[in-house]
Amino acid sequence: MSVSADVAARSLAGQVVAVTGGSRGIGRAIAIDLARQGAFVGINFRQNETEAMAALTQVRAAGGDGKLFQADVSRPEQIEAWFKDLYKETGHIDVLINNAGITRDAPLLTMTAKDWHAVLDTNLNSAFYCSKAIVRRMCSAKRGLIVMIGSGSAFSPRVSQVNYSTSKSALIGFTRSLARELAPHGVRVNTVAPGFTATEMSASLSQSVVTESLAKIPLNRWGQPEEIAAFVSYLASPDAYYLTGQTLVVDGGRYAFEQQY
């Protein structure tokens, strides 16, 4: 893997990043922004190869490079195969972004066990599988970063999201505990928790939900995926090397505003 002179001047030049669910939405924005900093990005996707190819094209257009890896991150054996391939390609993985997430909204009384497990498997268990698969090498290298992409729903849940809110709340506990465990080995763990963000996942929400959400956001707008990605890039930068075990809530002030009442 060669790095051009202009890339070498950037803060993440020579680093390798693995992004789960990196083919669209916040994951794609993260992949592109980290590539802009000079990182080689392993982009995980589950099904849509067309979207994944578009994301890789944008990563390269941003001045970085990367490779696509198709894997269902709720399946640990597929994660192992992905990381084995990425290690073979690059020799190391410096940053893991546990971004993959889905919703299966329904009131508890009608929520199926299948939808409960699907959300927990993708949003929470995948973070365990991916972190476990990568952490030994990070500890041996005495450096590394794991970032969970959480959600404002961990603090301000919407109705009919007990599975989603549970998964995102658990990521915060996972982050704090794992950060304490890995700090002596030079490995940092943090969460970025976006509020309402304009992505494909949120596009299906009704206008009434959009209107209601804006009334609770002091900045009076939804976030953009690129704004969330900027915080992830900050965590990966040398400026954040003293930060671990933290959850950065990026929601236009909604959580802070709601705590006043």
Domains in the chain (CATH in brackets) are 5-258 (3.40.50.720)
Contacts of 149 (CB under 8 A, 6+ apart): 26, 27, 30, 97, 98, 99, 101, 191, 192, 193, 194, 228, 232
Chain-centroid distance of CA 50 in Å reads 21
Q: What is the pLDDT of residue 257?
A: 80
DSSP symbols for 152-180: GGGTSPPTT-HHHHHHHHHHHHHHHHHHH
Q: What is the pLDDT of residue 213?
A: 87
| Mean pLDDT in consecutive groups of 10 residues from the start of the chain, 261 residues | 48 96 97 97 96 97 96 97 96 98 96 98 98 97 98 91 97 98 98 92 76 91 96 96 97 83 53
Q: What is the pLDDT of residue 9?
A: 52
Q: What is the pLDDT of residue 8?
A: 42
Separation between Cα atoms, residue 223 and residue 171, nearest integer Å: 21
Is 261 one of the catalytic residues? no
Q: What is the pTM of this model?
A: 0.93
- Token look-up 């959580």 returns 255
Separation between Cα atoms, residue 36 and residue 63, nearest integer Å: 6
Whether the CB-CB separation of 101 and 21 falls below 8 Å is answered with: yes
Distance between start and end Cα atoms, the chain: 53
Separation between Cα atoms, residue 148 and residue 243, nearest integer Å: 14
Identify the active-site residue in 164, 234, 241, 261. 164
